[in-house]
Amino acid sequence: MTSTPCTYPYPNALHHHWIEACLESGKHVLAEKPLTTSAGATAALVDLAAARGLVLQENFAFLRHGQHRTVRALVNEGRIGELRHFHSEFCFPPLAADDVRYRARPSAAKRCWTSGCTRCGPHSTFSETP
């Protein structure tokens, strides 16, 4: 078996295949979001990792970044005033017209999963539900 310190599958539709291959070869996996493009595929990978005693983690650090706890604490302590409205935006520079993230297949909806959930982080900081 050869050593593979890192593999970075792209587009999102390939994540399941490569994550499964890494787990099958006995490797712990830190995968870029989205882990997969379906709940069923994700459940299968979670089960596989558990059965083999491996760690499977989705790289979603932004949602749990300490900066959000700090801002929430400042708001809760009244140090920066009462929160009355919250608005967030996320964008990135345009990509080349032939970039795989713009392809309508394998799924038009799935191509946006790379960044579409990023706006949730700041909002969830101030939500009453976890």
The residues annotated with a catalytic role in the active site are 33
Integer Cα distance of 12 and 114 in angstroms: 8
Place of tokens 């499977």: 56
Tell me which residue has tokens 């700041």. Answer: 122
- Which residues partner with 30 through β-bridges? 57
Name the burial class of residue 127, with classes exposed (0-12), middle (13-18) and buried (19+) by CB atoms within 10 angstroms of its CB.
exposed
The sign of the dihedral angle between the CA atoms of 38, 44, 45, 46 is positive
